[in-house]
Amino acid sequence: MNACNGKPAELCALPYLEGALPEAEAERFEEHYFDCPACLAYLQNLQAASRGLERLPATPGEPRGMTLLGWPAMNWAMAVAAAILLLAAGVSYRALHSGLKAPQVAQVTPVPAPQAKPSPRPATAPVPRINPSQLADLSLPAFAAPTLRGASEDRQFESGMEAYKRGDCRDALADLSKVPSQSTDARAAEFYCAACEMHLGDLKAAAAGMHSVEDAGDSPQQESALYYEAQIALANNDLAAAHRYLIQTIALQGDLERDARNEDRKVRELANESADEGAEKPESGSQ
């Protein structure tokens, strides 16, 4: 009988289950818990919890759209924006089907996130059942600190991001656009500038900013930039470009891969519907 108090399991069980323990250590831990009831019980408890978690329904909002801790003001703003977008989507959808002209969302509501205008179509062109712009997610991306060093050394970036957290895109844009290109936060500043422009409805400038971030190569914002390029393309009713950017996002296999896959599926469905009605598919799109 060994006299272990379970410390090895406290240290190793979680990384062992995550597959994060180096192989040699994993084997040592296995040899230990085979002869240690305390550590075996610890491990079995974690495995039971894992089984329980598989069976429990996911927490609402998980994984995306989780409560933005510490950002109460933006929570409200984004919740209102989401509700208005949903309402607008519903109105547009009904209007499209009833043959009525969909009202311009910007004229009737103070929408924080712009609802993209449907592209002009010839009178004879068939109308897809859902407008691609309704798929576009133009909400402000949450601020993920670009480094773990804490506060930025760049004052403009700091104050810009403070404004960004408040949802004050104009102030954020004013400060972030002054971050010098030599700053370590320059890429992040460029990305959040583009996000602000997107939020304020300047989709052209936003697309250029996102493209610049994406084009700069490997950075913490590269995947997000591609994803939001897709959103802007959708807002512009450009299914082909949206498809292309989503495929590039998926290829990065990052955090947005699943969202990009889901959205790309919808884009392809939409493209197929359009094709059935005489419109072009993304593969043969306008790019």
Partner 1 sequence: MSSDPNDEAGTSPDHSPREIERLIEAVAQGDRNAERQFVERYQPRVRAMLLARTRNHELTADLVQDVMIEALCALRRSQLREASKLTPFVLGIARNLLNGHFRAASRQPDSLDLPDDLPDLNPAASRLEDEERESAAMHALSRLEPLDRSILRMTLVDGLKPGVIAQRLRLKPDVVRQRKLRATRRLIDFLDGRSQIASPVHIVTRQKQ
Q: How many CB atoms lie within 10 A of CB 223?
A: 21
Full DSSP string of 116-176: PPPPP--TTSPPPSS-GGGG---SPPPP--S-SSSS-S-HHHHHHHHHHHHT-HHHHHHHH
Cβ proximity to partner 1: between 254 and 285 the closer is 254
What does the alpha-carbon distance between residue 254 and residue 33 come to, in Å, rounded to a whole number?
35
Residues 148-187: x/- map of binding to partner 1 (CB under 8 A)? x---------------------------------------
Asked if 41 is part of the footprint of partner 1 (rule: CB under 8 A), the reply reads yes
Asked if 63 is part of the footprint of partner 1 (rule: CB under 8 A), the reply reads yes
Q: How far is the CB of 17 from partner 1 (least distance, A)?
A: 5
Cis peptide before 120 (omega within 30 of 0): no
Shortest CA distance to 26 belongs to which of 14, 42, 35?
A: 14
Asked if 34 is part of the footprint of partner 1 (rule: CB under 8 A), the reply reads yes
Cβ proximity to partner 1: between 94 and 261 the closer is 261
Cβ proximity to partner 1: between 52 and 217 the closer is 52
Residues 79-108: x/- map of binding to partner 1 (CB under 8 A)? ------------------------------
**Strand, helix or coil for residue 113:** coil
Asked if 18 is part of the footprint of partner 1 (rule: CB under 8 A), the reply reads yes
What does the alpha-carbon distance between residue 286 and residue 184 come to, in Å, rounded to a whole number?
37
Residues 238-257 that bind partner 1 (CB under 8 A): 255
Select from 23-31, 115-123, 190-198, 232-240 the region that touches partner 1 (CB under 8 A).
23-31
Query: How many CA atoms, within 13 angstroms, populate the side-chain half-sphere of residue 160?
Result: 28
- State the amino acid at position 277 in one-letter form: E
Asked if 23 is part of the footprint of partner 1 (rule: CB under 8 A), the reply reads no
Report how many residues bind partner 1 under the rule CB under 8 A.
Answer: 46
Asked if 7 is part of the footprint of partner 1 (rule: CB under 8 A), the reply reads no
Select from 11-19, 162-170, 240-248, 262-270 the region that touches partner 1 (CB under 8 A).
11-19
**Strand, helix or coil for residue 184:** coil
Asked if 44 is part of the footprint of partner 1 (rule: CB under 8 A), the reply reads yes
Token couple for 192: 């959040």
Q: Are 198 and 233 in contact (CB under 8 A)?
A: no
Task: Tell me which residues touch partner 1 (CB under 8 A).
Answer: 1, 10, 14, 16-20, 27, 30-31, 33-35, 37, 40-56, 58-59, 62-64, 66-69, 142, 144-145, 148, 255
